[in-house]
Structure 1
Amino acid sequence: MPFMPVTDSMFLIGESREHPMHVGGLQLYELPEDAGPDYLSKIYQSLVADEQSVQPLFRRRPRRPVSSLGQWSWTTDNQLDMEYHVRLTALPRPGRVRELLELTSRLHGSLLDRHRPLWEFSLIEGLEGNRFATYSKVHHALMDGVSSLILAARALSTDPDVRDMPPVWAMPPLDKPAKTDDASGGPLELLENLRAATQDVAGVLPAVVKSANTALREQASVLPFQAPRSIFNVQITGARRFAAQRWSLDRIKAIRRATGATLNDVVLAMCSGALRRYLLELGALPDRPLIAMVPVSLRAKQKRSEASGNSVGSILVNLGTHLEDAAERFAQIQDSAQIAKRSLAELSPLQILALSGLIMAPLAFAPIPGFVRMTPPPFNLIISNVPGPPRPLYWNGAKLQGQYPLSIPYDGQALNITITSYADSLQFGLTGCRRNVPHLQRLLGHLEDSLAELEKAVL
């Protein structure tokens, strides 16, 4: 197998018991009308019995032999234990969403076994309201959150009558764009690729200088290490707490239309107001505004959509949490996000990754004792918004009610907020360090209050 790209292997290098490096997804389904008492049991038996359908991507196992000089590579596991990777479990009574989130929190806090392919899938029965759930997790070295959503959507159907649908691990990655006749992959193409890569690398330093000059010139722009200290910027444990809820997409779109903002601007403003309320409640609101790192997908810029690996850049956005007025906070967020996006517009994907690496680099040093305590945070938290399926979907006749993303807190970054869209709603997933982010579920109520406050301010 080939060597692992650095953008993928860094998630293995930085992993420890306190820092699991996998992303996850919680999906809620409504049982079909014709579902019998053994509906989930039959699905489980069919999943564990079909080892032959597992695609090569989900057979990859990491290895680092001495001959590779420490560089990680992938090898193929030809002895998959499907009963290990796929589990059937049940919630304790009364089977509320509260019990589901507690179970999901525990599952998300445990490490994946590096001696096996880095993924797990759980079928969860016993959920009230004639429902069941699935929880899946995959190591970030194998794929990023966008990739996992692409595959998850392709494993579902818009037709409720379709049965015997393949699971995610049986779905092949999306096809790469077809080569033209004059792009044969020969020596000329190799030289051209090397030339383009050399130009990109040469442009990294000017891109850094340009971004710094823009940040110094524009009042609303942000540079790393401008963030204030907060309760989120501490060393974390490996235990997780997860909270999730959905909101009507029409409410968010109404604000977007009234203000001319982007959908992501509205989402960031929701989070800003909620974080302000949450920190005020704890008596821990910094005098200076919180700074969010916002991932930016590079797949469209790269003109390919292969559902594997990592292809994500990042920008820094001023959340304006020091401002009491919701309209002023919203304006601050819009200005900051627009400036950050303009700074990336003329850069190549490689240059964007290089700049993003500078933003994220301090996280690599965070596990060093004393580093988080003695250095200012590069940013306060990560807020990610990932587009999801626009239409209702079904899996073996069961209607998907919601899908909630679970992401990765880091040392110095104890809270991660990830949002995805589905049909007519936005689904918020909040993943935090169990010890250092108290009463995480209260943020859900603050998100509703923040959205209502925005509606009152701009509509």
Structure 2
Amino acid sequence: MRLMAPNDFVFLGLETREHPMHVGGLELFTPPEGAGEDFARNLYNELISAPEVSSTFRRRPGTPLNTLRNLTWREDAEIDLEYHVRLSALPRPGRIRELLETVSLWHSSLLDRHRPLWEMHVVEGLSDGRLAVYTKIHHALVDGVTALRLLQKSLTDDASETSLPAPFAPRQPRTARGSRGFNPLGLAKTGLSLTGDVAGSVPAAYRIGRQIMRERDIPLPLRAPKSMFNVPIGGARRFAAQSWSLDRLRRVAKAAGSTLNDVVLCMCGGALREYLLTQNALPEKPLIAFVPVSLHSLTGEAEAGNAVTVVMASLGTDEDDPLARMKAIRRSMGQAKEMMAGLSPLQSIALGATLAGPFALTSAAGLSSFTPPTFNVIISNVPGPKKPLYWNGAKLDGIYPASIVMDGLALNITLASNVDSLDFGVIGCRQSVPHLQHLLRHLEDSLASLEKAAGL
């Protein structure tokens, strides 16, 4: 039994039937040439025959209930892989539509706290001959970046390699810091670093406060406009997914003098504007996005469970002109970057917690209907593989993240890069966000409008 990190306890504590707190993902694979009808079943049999399971995938809460015993993790010695890994077939006609409907149902259900907190579904029966894999794992175990890295490490860039470890198999021991046992000098350095973080927080807070006073349009908690996304939600989910060429977004970024992430936010802002107009629900003020920022590269802990902070940015949804919207987003993200400049990872996490705190409190207390929104939507961009990857010869075609929604946050847009594409996964409350799949068309229309405005 081991103690649980405070942020992991929070993810477990916030979970209810209406608010599952797992992150997931849908992967699509093209089987190798000559693969038989049993290709998916053979992969499934290999998975359930895995000789070892890593400690992360053996972990479950000390008790299934939200009590103080949930401050500890237990690691099960025996894992029932036939429960955690499942083989499924799509109903006819086996289109992507049927696949997304099935994933929507799977993503709506809670993980069993009597068992380690993960599931993996191997799916056959797609009409185009491809294979799908849907996985979900509790956010108390990993964040989205870590989950994607676990997937990548179970794949290879060698299409001929057919003896790959399962995603839940142990990895080779790392020689990085933290893997060599007790180190008095390292402990002293950690203490000095923490002392420096605390001491540096005072001037950092003063600098940020002056910036807020100087630039009064900086998005702050409880100042976002009320929208149809900021309502209590039910437990059912709807999932939609689609890919866009990275080259298209890069050309827009170059023509507009913006970053790729600015283009993603502008593309989402335009799509949300059109969607809300069709629902007669567009606020006069611009929507505010909650944008997670990974700290793994700063902490040096590539295998860390949760290492993330957040910034808040305007989506310019009050602007009909795409270039005016881009300008508003560029200014807002510039303000956020200035606010984060010079902060240590610990200080960045503290700032993110300060920004997210009002939302966590109002959502957990069921007060989202009575308080101004902290933000309107989450938009997260997760870095993925930069070269083609394979699973026993099957080529990875797409990675579509499926994240979390909560009371006061009925919509979440998460995307992952995959070689030369951006793969969008859109998750929403089935009741509060009607016709969620229409957002995919609005995303395409928004990108096309950006291209036209930029002269492309």
Which residue of the partner structure matches residue 328 of structure 1? 324
For residues 65 and 90 of structure 1, what CA distance do their matches in structure 2 show?
A: 31
Give the 3 Å change call, closer, same or farther, for CA 150–65 of structure 1 in structure 2.
Answer: closer
Q: Indicate the percent of aligned positions where both proteins have the same amino acid.
A: 52
Aligned counterpart for 1:252 among listed residues 227, 249, 253: 249
For residues 57 and 427 of structure 1, what CA distance do their matches in structure 2 show?
A: 26
1:228 is aligned to 2:225: yes
Question: Which letter does structure 1 place at the counterpart of 2:336?
Answer: A
Question: Which letter does structure 1 place at the counterpart of 2:233?
Answer: I
Question: Which letter does structure 1 place at the counterpart of 2:433?
Answer: V
Question: Which letter does structure 2 place at the counterpart of 1:212?
Answer: G
For residues 176 and 305 of structure 1, what CA distance do their matches in structure 2 show?
A: 12
For residues 405 and 176 of structure 1, what CA distance do their matches in structure 2 show?
A: 30
Query: Aligned runs of 1:358-373 on 2, under 5 Å?
Result: 358-367=354-363, 371-373=367-369
For residues 415 and 394 of structure 1, what CA distance do their matches in structure 2 show?
A: 31
Which residue of the partner structure matches residue 195 of structure 1? 192
- How big is the shift at 1:151? 1.1
Which residue of the partner structure matches residue 136 of structure 2? 137
For residues 65 and 147 of structure 1, what CA distance do their matches in structure 2 show?
A: 24
- How big is the shift at 1:209? 4.3
Give the 3 Å change call, closer, same or farther, for CA 184–241 of structure 1 in structure 2.
Answer: closer
Is the 2:64–2:113 contact (alpha carbons within 8 Å) kept by the matching residues of 1? no
Is the 2:290–2:313 contact (alpha carbons within 8 Å) kept by the matching residues of 1? yes
Is the 2:366–2:407 contact (alpha carbons within 8 Å) kept by the matching residues of 1? no
Is the 2:62–2:69 contact (alpha carbons within 8 Å) kept by the matching residues of 1? no
Which residue of the partner structure matches residue 243 of structure 1? 240
For residues 397 and 244 of structure 2, what CA distance do their matches in structure 1 show?
A: 12
Which residue of the partner structure matches residue 153 of structure 2? 154
TM-superposition CA deviations, 1:260-316 (whole Å, max 9, x none): 21111110000000000000111000000000000001111113312x410000000
Which residue of the partner structure matches residue 440 of structure 1? 436
Aligned counterpart for 1:340 among listed residues 332, 336, 341: 336
Give the 3 Å change call, closer, same or farther, for CA 184–441 of structure 1 in structure 2.
Answer: closer
Is the 1:174–1:305 contact (alpha carbons within 8 Å) kept by the matching residues of 2? no
For residues 217 and 325 of structure 2, what CA distance do their matches in structure 1 show?
A: 12
Is the 2:14–2:364 contact (alpha carbons within 8 Å) kept by the matching residues of 1? no
TM-score scaled by length of structure 1: 0.94
Give the 3 Å change call, closer, same or farther, for CA 442–346 of structure 1 in structure 2.
Answer: same
Which residue of the partner structure matches residue 17 of structure 2? 17
For residues 286 and 334 of structure 1, what CA distance do their matches in structure 2 show?
A: 21
Partner of 2:368: helix, strand, or coil?
helix
Is the 1:96–1:127 contact (alpha carbons within 8 Å) kept by the matching residues of 2? yes
For residues 429 and 6 of structure 1, what CA distance do their matches in structure 2 show?
A: 28
Provide the alpha-carbon RMSD of the alignment: 2.0
Give the 3 Å change call, closer, same or farther, for CA 122–92 of structure 1 in structure 2.
Answer: same
TM-score scaled by length of structure 2: 0.95
Aligned counterpart for 1:425 among listed residues 421, 426, 429: 421
Which residue of the partner structure matches residue 78 of structure 1? 77
For residues 110 and 47 of structure 2, what CA distance do their matches in structure 1 show?
A: 23
After superposing the two structures, state which structure 1 stretch, 55-64 or 150-159, moved more. Answer: 55-64
Which residue of the partner structure matches residue 287 of structure 1? 284
Partner of 1:342: helix, strand, or coil?
helix
- How big is the shift at 1:213? 2.8
Query: Aligned runs of 1:151-230 on 2, under 5 Å?
Result: 151-172=150-171, 175=174, 177-178=176-177, 185-204=182-201, 206-230=203-227
Question: Which letter does structure 2 place at the counterpart of 1:165?
Answer: L
After superposing the two structures, state which structure 1 stretch, 3-12 or 241-250, moved more. Answer: 3-12
For residues 38 and 242 of structure 1, what CA distance do their matches in structure 2 show?
A: 28
Give the 3 Å change call, closer, same or farther, for CA 374–72 of structure 1 in structure 2.
Answer: same
Is the 2:64–2:114 contact (alpha carbons within 8 Å) kept by the matching residues of 1? no
Is the 1:151–1:173 contact (alpha carbons within 8 Å) kept by the matching residues of 2? no
Which residue of the partner structure matches residue 7 of structure 1? 7
Partner of 1:362: helix, strand, or coil?
helix
Question: Which letter does structure 2 place at the counterpart of 1:342?
Answer: E
Which residue of the partner structure matches residue 34 of structure 2? 34
Question: Which letter does structure 1 place at the counterpart of 2:379?
Answer: I
Give the 3 Å change call, closer, same or farther, for CA 414–260 of structure 1 in structure 2.
Answer: same
Which residue of the partner structure matches residue 95 of structure 1? 94
Is the 2:359–2:373 contact (alpha carbons within 8 Å) kept by the matching residues of 1? no
- How big is the shift at 1:129? 0.8
For residues 282 and 204 of structure 1, what CA distance do their matches in structure 2 show?
A: 44
Unaligned runs of 5+ residues in structure 2 are none
- How big is the shift at 1:220? 4.6
For residues 316 and 122 of structure 1, what CA distance do their matches in structure 2 show?
A: 34
Which residue of the partner structure matches residue 298 of structure 1? 295
Question: Which letter does structure 1 place at the counterpart of 2:439?
Answer: L
Which residue of the partner structure matches residue 58 of structure 1? 57
- How big is the shift at 1:202? 4.2
Query: Aligned runs of 1:265-276 on 2, under 5 Å?
Result: 265-276=262-273
Partner of 1:371: helix, strand, or coil?
coil
1:387 is aligned to 2:410: no
For residues 363 and 257 of structure 2, what CA distance do their matches in structure 1 show?
A: 41
Give the 3 Å change call, closer, same or farther, for CA 338–153 of structure 1 in structure 2.
Answer: same
Which residue of the partner structure matches residue 350 of structure 2? 354
Partner of 1:439: helix, strand, or coil?
coil
For residues 323 and 245 of structure 1, what CA distance do their matches in structure 2 show?
A: 25
Is the 2:61–2:70 contact (alpha carbons within 8 Å) kept by the matching residues of 1? no
For residues 110 and 97 of structure 1, what CA distance do their matches in structure 2 show?
A: 21
Which residue of the partner structure matches residue 112 of structure 2? 113
Which residue of the partner structure matches residue 47 of structure 2? 47
For residues 202 and 269 of structure 1, what CA distance do their matches in structure 2 show?
A: 37
Give the 3 Å change call, closer, same or farther, for CA 171–399 of structure 1 in structure 2.
Answer: farther
For residues 29 and 65 of structure 1, what CA distance do their matches in structure 2 show?
A: 35
Give the 3 Å change call, closer, same or farther, for CA 149–184 of structure 1 in structure 2.
Answer: closer
